[in-house]
């Protein structure tokens, strides 16, 4: 989230799209209601009428996979009706920037942007990537970007945007999305009203936007809307991702994903063999003196991270050589890992706090892939479909060689530490009870594993022992053998914050060796400071553990609660907040000011940098400090699949053609289904009469993730005991399916038994003149807790049985062009009566 | 803690069912082996093990869908019909305590269960053959003396469930009815220690 949960209460219009917060983020509704009590409009856009829809003022249905058409239409509506916040767009975004005249929009280039490298087949362009040379700004001889503040130049971003979305008329959008015009237009009207300077609108999105082959572009489309309406940086504004786990924000911040190190630093590539090359490639340069270009500090953060990993004895350049490097062209995301496993190129797997046999798209492939493993370590609270994959449906244990180890671990309440919520709040929590039996905290398991591996390297050497042998491991009290007695979460939190490694005088102030660094402004690129994550530097200082603060006062009156816990960065509660004020530092919305320039200082939230407001000239800085431009990107050349979002059909679509483009699907996808006829594990069925219905997946409030925790909790299992498929009344009648009947849902990749819930809440769509039916399935189930499976003598039986297996048996293993998140929110199925 | 009330504003209920689980948790009621019967509603009925249950009401009126959620439970009538009937057989089998709770005592075992079942206009109490006892919402009368709200109220995150002095709760309900305007009504009425605000009087047919 750019903002935070409580801030929802400040909004004038809340758009819940690609999410169902009332059900899946129930506490958020408390703050949404406060906004509604103040007069805010609540909008729900969803393929089916959800519990959020039930509470919304406006509900608009849309066919899964057509969000960009819907949002593109809103962009057009805002531009055509001059509803954008002109001063904000002109001063705070790249709308006036002139773009390379060689750049071509999709409409003038066969459905793709200029620079495409790939092949054209009978289904359009495939397997491609873009050469982004033409996706660039025009610059003068000194490297300064050419701009047209009148926004009239035909090559300026604003005019290109207008041209690109001119095709997205309400009529066309309605045809593509299936949203009736009388439901579409009120949404555009209501949301566009937040373009008034003193109004703000916010979006709450979740996996309903990300799990698409155009997932990143869905969010980009909304970013463009928020910039046009001047909603970024504002109280009650922003772009707000609702995280699906209590600490998904924290784990992402700390480098869970393969392409980033902690603090969103970049994972080194094989071509960057020395530290200087890596730093140069990672540090952006700006020729604009008014751009803070915050990432120019990259070398300070990377040096401090290397210090935290390897300590002060290893010179930075040497420490860098110890980091793993990625092959330049390779990708190490989930789908790729399981594809490699399927191809027998990986022999061991640590499945840690997860359940891939149920959680991964195309579960049949995932489960089959696991049979290639020599060993599998399952670290979890309970045995699950992953640890027991070898005795799952269709498996013959006699033929499976995998040795499985189960390591029971502690649940969150059985260990101390911090969680970072969607709103970037790092909140400390305490241990409520000891873990049962042999269960231990993940950190302790990991520490023992590390110490054991280090011992082996010490004894036996190996190909490249230094990364292990030189790693600093000082996170708890040490025993004589070098093993840690246990991990101390406070030591970890302090290491994440970082230390001065030498006595240092900065800005005339003395900082002593061994003290905690008070803020990332003081991190150094010379190796004199350490920090496990620069974004969290300031969270645990000599003044104490900021995350443990529990001050309930709110002098801000907009719900910042700045003395409660701690928020990255630097306890800033609303990021990009310099965009919430005009050039003189006066809030656009005086009733809900985030920051304000008052008597030559900023007051309110922690501002995005200390510089004075823009009217002070060169001493000031543009508001979007993390971007080299300093300005919000309406033209976003950073993405793999286009600087403007374009509607492409999902990989599996009910349509034969893309109504908006000659190009059918996103051309920049990594495709698995093009391997040839012999490949039975990567099947795709688009516009195929065997699979006529669009299907989507969603969560239940009663279950969590793959249900490993909740299916074993009797009070929750009794509430939602079975895999179901929600079917509209019209379709159910056509298929002769009655409510409560067990049916088969089938995709090109697998089949699933489910109980039919026949409902008025799912109405058919009219798309391009054709009736399209959509159905939906939850994802939390798995065979391990069913009554029908074989229970061996030692197998624990659940107190309450559930019915059905994971919906990932149906989902496609195709990922977004930027993130590789699977397209689990939109694929084609058939629904039939159980024979 | 005299004459207290639970006030339920169903316009704020999202059917998160925290109240349903909190009830089972505090009262240590067993989970039931349920089936999905084509609905999200479960367990299928109030029972010896289920004293509070959310009912899901789907409606389609004038091209508009609505979806409301009703927490079904003892109304703690004032005066209670069940007590009136029970008193004619055994004094003290049903009591109305000072907090407003309607409670069944051991003496109820001496009364023909059908008499109690037919006495309740809302079909709430459930009879347990094994113990010969009746079970239903207890108003968490084991929490109230300690200044604790009923478990369901404590668990509610949206403000749908409220607990306090009856006069205050009635005032909140009246204010909410004014705020919701049009068709909002108080259900079942004022002579109860548990009452609801329904945003649409049309819902009366579904309850």
Residue of B12, B23, B37, B40 to mutate when probing chain A, most A C-beta within 10 A = B40
The answer to whether A54 contacts B60, with C-beta atoms less than 8 Å apart, is no
Of B18, B32, B58, the CB nearest to A759: B58
DSSP, collapsed to helix, strand or coil, labels residue B109 as helix
> For residues B53 and A116, what is the distance between their CA atoms, to the nearest angstrom?
58
Cα A711–chain centre separation: 26
Task: Find out whether A18 and A208 touch, Cβ atoms under 8 Å.
Answer: yes
CB atoms within 10 A of CB A255: 18
**In this complex, is the C-beta atom of B45 within 8 Å of any C-beta atom belonging to chain A?**
no
Strands A375-380 and A348-352: parallel
- Across the interface, whether the CB atoms of A33 and B158 are under 8 A apart is answered yes
The pLDDT value recorded for residue B48 is: 98
Question: How is chain B split among helix, strand and coil, in percent rounded to 5?
Answer: 30, 25, 45
For A465-498, give one letter per residue: b (16+ CB within 10 A) or e.
eeebeeeebebbeeeeeebbeebbbbebbbbbbb
Between CA A291 and CA A297 the distance in angstroms is 13
Please judge whether A720 and B36 are an interchain contact, meaning their C-beta atoms are less than 8 angstroms apart: yes
Minimum Cα–Cα distance from B32: chain A residue: A718
pTM here? Answer: 0.97
Q: What is the CATH number of domain B4-73+148-206?
A: 3.30.70.20
**Partner-chain residue, chosen from A27, A51, A800, that has the shortest CB–CB distance to B157:** A27
* CA-based nearest distance B98→chain A, Å: 32
The CA distance from B33 to B31, in Å, is 7
A548 touches chain B (CB under 8 A): no
CA triple A801-A807-A813, angle to 5 deg: 145
Residue A721 with chain B: CB contacts under 8 Å: 33-36, 42
Task: State the CB neighbour count (10 A cutoff) for residue A608.
Answer: 28
Residue B78 C-alpha, separation from nearest chain A C-alpha, in angstroms = 32
Q: List, as one string, the DSSP characters of A24-87.
A: HSTTHHHHHHHHHHTT-EEEEE-SS--HHHHH-SEEE---TT-HHHHHHHHHHHHHHTT-S-HH
Neighbours of A769 (CB within 10 A): 6
Residues of chain B within CATH 3.30.70.20 domain(s) are 4-73+148-206, 81-135
pLDDT of residue A677: 67
Q: Does A23 touch chain B (CB under 8 A)?
A: yes
Which of A721, A741, A753 would best serve as a mutation to test chain B binding (most B beta carbons within 10 A)?
A721
d(CA A426, CA A248): 12
Structure token pair of residue A147: 């701009």
Inter-chain residue contact B38 with A741, CB threshold 8 Å = yes
* Chain A contact present for B185, CB below 8 A: no
Distance CA A367, CA A362 (A): 9
Separation of alpha carbons A623 and A613, rounded Å? 9
Asked if A694 and A701 count as a contact pair (C-beta separation under 8 A), the reply is: no
Buried-state track B79-106, b at ≥16 Cβ within 10 A, e below 16:
ebbbbebbeeeeeebbbbbebbbbbbee
| B chain contacts of residue A51, beta-carbon cutoff 8 Å | 14-15, 67
**CB A24 within 8 Å of CB A699:** yes
- A727 has which bridge partners? A758
Q: Please tell me which residue of chain B has the smallest CA distance to A29.
A: B158
> A720 touching B, CB under 8 A?
yes
Topology of domain B81-135 in CATH is Alpha-Beta Plaits (3.30.70)
Closest CA to A199 of A386, A403, A473, A14: A14
pLDDT of residue B61: 83
Asked if A701 reaches chain B (Cβ–Cβ under 8 Å), the answer is yes
- Kindly state whether B12 is in contact with chain A, defined as any CB-CB distance less than 8 angstroms: yes
Q: Is A669 exposed, middle or buried (0-12, 13-18, 19+ CB in 10 A)?
A: buried
- Chain A CB within 8 Å of residue B16 CB: yes
Residues B16, A26: C-beta atoms closer than 8 Å: yes
Do the chains contact at A717 and B24, CB–CB below 8 Å?
no
Residue to mutate among A56, A186, A715, A737, with most B CBs inside 10 A, is A715
Q: What is the mean pLDDT of residues B7-31?
A: 97
A-B contacts (CB, under 8 Å):
96
Q: What is the mean pLDDT of residues B152-178?
A: 97
Q: Which residue of B has its CA nearest to A727?
A: B38
Q: What residues of chain B, 119 to 138, have a C-beta less than 8 Å from chain A?
A: none
Read off the pLDDT of residues B54-70 as tens digits, 9 standing for 90 and up: 999 998 888 889 999 99
Q: What CA–CA distance (Å, rounded) separates B20 from B15? A: 9
pLDDT of residue A481: 84
Task: Select the residue of B30, B32, B67 nearest A54 (Cβ to Cβ).
Answer: B67
Do residue B36 and residue A757 have CB atoms under 8 angstroms apart?
yes
The CA distance from A775 to the nearest CA of chain B, in Å, is 14
ipTM greater than cut 0.90:
yes
| CB half-sphere exposure, A5, CA atoms < 13 A | 18
Check residue A97 and report its DSSP letter. B
Nearest CB to A721; choose among B36, B60, B65: B36
Q: Please give, rounded to a whole number of angstroms, the shortest distance from the CA of B207 to a CA of chain A.
A: 18
Q: Distance between CA atoms of B159 and A93, rounded to whole angstroms?
A: 41
Report the alpha-carbon distance of residue A358 to residue A723 in Å, rounded: 13
* B12·A724 Cβ contact <8 A: no
Determine if residue B2 is left, alpha or beta; phi over 0 gives left, psi from -120 to 50 gives alpha, anything else beta: beta
**Is B36 an 8 Å CB contact of chain A?**
yes
**Using the beta-carbon criterion (under 8 Å), do A718 and B36 form an inter-chain contact?**
no
Give every residue of chain A whose pLDDT is below 70, as ranges: 677-678
Q: Which of A719, A788, A804 to mutate to test the interface with B (most CBs of B within 10 A)?
A: A719
Task: Check: CB of residue A161 under 8 Å from CB of residue A644.
Answer: yes
A233 with A579: CB under 8 angstroms? yes
- Whether A169 and A206 have beta carbons less than 8 Å apart is answered as no
B39 chain-A contacts, CB cut-off 8 A: 739-740, 757
B24 CB within 8 Å of a chain A CB: yes
Give, to the nearest 10 degrees, the angle between helix A170-177 and helix A181-192.
120
Please tell me the distance from the alpha carbon of residue A528 to that of residue A312, in angstroms, as a whole number.
8
Among the partner-chain residues A54, A55, A718, the one whose CB lies closest to the CB of B42 is: A718
Query: Token pair 């997205």 is at which residue?
Result: A168
How many CB atoms are closer than 10 A to CB B182?
Answer: 8
């Amino acid at each position: 989230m750019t903002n935070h949960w409580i801030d929802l209460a400040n909004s004038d219009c809340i758009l819940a799209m690609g999410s169902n917060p009332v059900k899946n983020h129930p506490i958020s509704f408390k703050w949404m209601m406060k906004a509604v009590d103040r007069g805010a409009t609540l909008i729900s856009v969803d393929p089916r009428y959800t519990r959020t829809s039930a509470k919304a003022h406006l509900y608009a249905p849309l066919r899964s996979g057509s969000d960009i058409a819907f949002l593109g239409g809103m962009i057009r509506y805002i531009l055509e009706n001059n509803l954008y916040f002109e001063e904000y767009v002109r001063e705070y975004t790249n709308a006036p920037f002139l773009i390379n005249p060689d750049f071509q929009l999709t409409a003038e280039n066969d459905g793709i942007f200029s620079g495409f490298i790939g092949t054209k087949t009978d289904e359009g362009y495939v397997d491609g990537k873009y050469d982004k040379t033409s996706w660039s700004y025009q610059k003068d001889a000194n490297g300064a970007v050419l701009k047209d503040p009148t926004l009239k130049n035909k090559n300026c971003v604003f005019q290109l945007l207008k041209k690109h979305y001119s095709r997205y008329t309400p009529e066309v959008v309605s045809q593509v999305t299936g949203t009736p015009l009388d439901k579409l237009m009120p949404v555009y009207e209501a949301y566009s009203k937040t373009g008034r300077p003193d109004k703000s609108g916010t979006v709450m999105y979740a996996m309903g936007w990300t799990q698409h082959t155009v997932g990143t572009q869905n969010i980009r489309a909304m970013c463009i809307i928020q910039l046009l309406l001047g909603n970024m940086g504002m109280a009650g504004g922003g772009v707000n991702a609702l995280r699906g786990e209590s600490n998904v924000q924290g784990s992402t911040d700390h480098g869970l994903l393969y392409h980033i190190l902690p603090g969103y630093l970049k994972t080194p590539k094989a071509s960057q063999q020395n530290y200087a090359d890596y730093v140069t490639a990672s540090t952006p340069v700006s020729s604009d003196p008014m751009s803070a270009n915050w990432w120019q500090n990259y070398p300070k953060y990377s040096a401090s991270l290397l210090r935290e990993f390897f300590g002060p004895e290893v010179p930075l350049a040497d420490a860098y050589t110890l980091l793993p490097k990625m092959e330049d062209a390779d990708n190490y995301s989930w789908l790729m890992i399981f594809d490699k496993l399927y191809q027998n190129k990986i022999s061991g797997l640590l499945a840690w706090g997860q359940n891939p046999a149920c959680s991964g798209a195309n579960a049949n492939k995932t489960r089959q892939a696991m049979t290639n493993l020599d060993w599998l370590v399952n670290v979890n609270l309970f045995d699950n479909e992953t640890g027991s994959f070898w005795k799952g449906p269709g498996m013959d244990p006699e033929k499976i060689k995998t040795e499985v180890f189960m390591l029971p671990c502690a649940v969150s309440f059985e260990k101390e530490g911090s969680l970072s919520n969607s709103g970037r709040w790092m909140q400390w929590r305490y241990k409520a009870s000891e873990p049962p039996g042999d269960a231990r905290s993940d950190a302790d398991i990991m520490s023992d594993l590390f110490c054991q591996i280090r011992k082996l390297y010490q004894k036996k050497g190996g190909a490249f022992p230094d990364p292990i042998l030189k790693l600093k491991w000082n996170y708890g009290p040490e025993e004589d053998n070098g093993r840690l007695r246990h991990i101390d979460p406070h030591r970890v939190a302090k290491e994440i914050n970082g230390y001065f490694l030498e006595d240092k005088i900065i800005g005339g102030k003395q900082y002593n060796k061994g003290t905690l660094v008070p803020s990332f402004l003081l991190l150094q690129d010379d190796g004199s400071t350490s920090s496990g994550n620069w974004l969290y530097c300031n969270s645990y200082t000599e003044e104490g553990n900021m995350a443990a603060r529990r001050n309930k006062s709110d002098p801000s009156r907009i719900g910042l609660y700045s003395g409660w816990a701690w928020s990255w960065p630097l306890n800033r509660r609303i990021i990009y907040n310099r965009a919430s004020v005009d050039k003189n530092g006066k809030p656009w919305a005086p009733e809900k000011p985030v920051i304000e320039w008052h008597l030559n200082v900023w007051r309110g939230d922690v501002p995005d940098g200390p510089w004075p407001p823009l009217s002070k000239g060169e001493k000031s800085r543009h508001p979007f400090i993390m971007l080299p431009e300093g300005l919000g990107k309406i033209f976003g050349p950073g993405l793999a699949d286009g600087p403007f979002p374009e509607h492409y059909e999902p990989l599996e679509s009910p349509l034969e053609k893309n109504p908006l483009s000659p190009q059918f699907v996103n051309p920049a996808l990594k495709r698995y289904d093009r391997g040839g006829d012999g490949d039975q594990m990567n099947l795709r069925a688009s516009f195929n009469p065997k699979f006529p219905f669009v299907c989507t997946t969603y969560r239940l409030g009663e279950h969590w993730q793959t249900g490993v925790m909740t299916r074993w909790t009797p009070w929750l299992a009794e509430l939602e005991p079975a895999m179901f498929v929600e079917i509209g009344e019209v379709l159910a009648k056509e298929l002769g399916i009655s409510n409560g009947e067990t049916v088969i849902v089938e995709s090109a990749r697998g089949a699933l038994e489910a109980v039919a819930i026949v409902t008025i809440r799912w109405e058919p769509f009219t798309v391009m003149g054709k009736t399209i039916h959509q159905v939906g399935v939850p994802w939390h189930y798995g065979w391990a807790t069913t009554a029908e499976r074989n229970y061996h003598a030692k197998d624990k039986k659940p107190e309450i049985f559930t019915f059905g297996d994971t919906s990932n048996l149906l989902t496609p293993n195709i990922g977004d062009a930027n993130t590789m998140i699977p397209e689990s929110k939109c694929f084609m199925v058939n629904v039939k009566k159980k024979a | 803690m005299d004459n207290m009330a639970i006030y339920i504003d169903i316009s704020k209920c999202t059917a998160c069912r925290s109240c349903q689980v909190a009830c089972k948790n505090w009262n240590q009621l067993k989970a039931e082996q349920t089936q999905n019967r084509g609905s999200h509603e479960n367990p299928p009925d109030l029972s010896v093990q289920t004293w509070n249950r959310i009912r899901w009401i789907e409606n389609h009126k004038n091209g508009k869908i609505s979806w409301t959620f009703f927490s079904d439970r003892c109304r703690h009538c004032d005066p209670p019909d069940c007590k009136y009937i029970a008193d004619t057989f055994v004094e003290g089998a049903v009591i109305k305590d000072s907090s407003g709770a309607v409670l069944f005592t051991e003496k109820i075992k001496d009364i023909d269960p059908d008499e109690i079942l037919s006495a309740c206009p809302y079909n709430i109490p459930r009879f347990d053959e094994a113990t010969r006892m009746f079970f239903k919402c207890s108003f968490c009368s084991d929490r109230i003396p300690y200044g604790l709200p009923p478990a369901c109220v404590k668990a509610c995150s949206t403000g749908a469930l409220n607990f306090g002095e009856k006069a205050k709760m009635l005032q909140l309900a009246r204010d909410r009815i004014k705020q919701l305007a049009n068709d909002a009504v108080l259900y079942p009425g004022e002579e109860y220690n548990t009452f609801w605000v329904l945003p649409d009087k049309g819902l009366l047919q579904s309850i």
